[in-house]
């Protein structure tokens, strides 16, 4: 992963961590439940965007490298990783 893309992901994940800490403060402060739930939805959406970006990089680099390697075992491994990932997401 190149430096700028990596830095961008770290910034995004740190922002999400801040949102989660904010949620804890909201609960501690007895904030209105709907406000907390709206913030939870925002965190879930932010995590979804981070997940998509990392998945895109995985396909562009890791999966692409496995295909270029010509190794059937490596290609199979990367495919299995993706299938397992999507199986877990459906649960």
Alpha helices by DSSP H, the chain: 3-28, 33-57, 64-69, 72-90
3-90: CATH superfamily:
Metal-sensitive repressor, helix protomer (1.20.58.1000)
Q: What is the mean pLDDT of the chain?
A: 93
Count of Cβ atoms closer than 10 Å to residue 8 Cβ: 14
User: pLDDT higher for 19 or 60?
Assistant: 19
Whole-structure pTM over 0.85, yes or no?
Answer: no
- Count of Cβ atoms closer than 10 Å to residue 39 Cβ: 16
* Domain residue ranges of the chain, discontinuous segments joined by +: 3-90
Task: Decide which of 37 and 60 is more confident.
Answer: 37
pLDDT at 91 over 90: no
Cα dist from 40 to 17, 26, 33, 57, 72, whole Å: 12, 11, 10, 26, 42
């Amino acid at each position: 992963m190149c430096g700028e893309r990596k830095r961008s992901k770290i910034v995004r994940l740190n922002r999400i961590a801040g949102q989660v800490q904010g949620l804890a403060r909201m609960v501690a402060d007895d904030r209105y439940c709907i406000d907390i739930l709206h913030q939870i939805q925002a965190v879930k959406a932010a995590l979804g965007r981070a997940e998509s970006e990392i998945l895109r990089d995985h396909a562009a680099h890791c999966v692409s490298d496995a295909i270029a390697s010509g190794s059937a075992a490596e290609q199979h491994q990367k495919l299995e990783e993706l299938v397992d990932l999507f199986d877990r997401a459906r649960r």
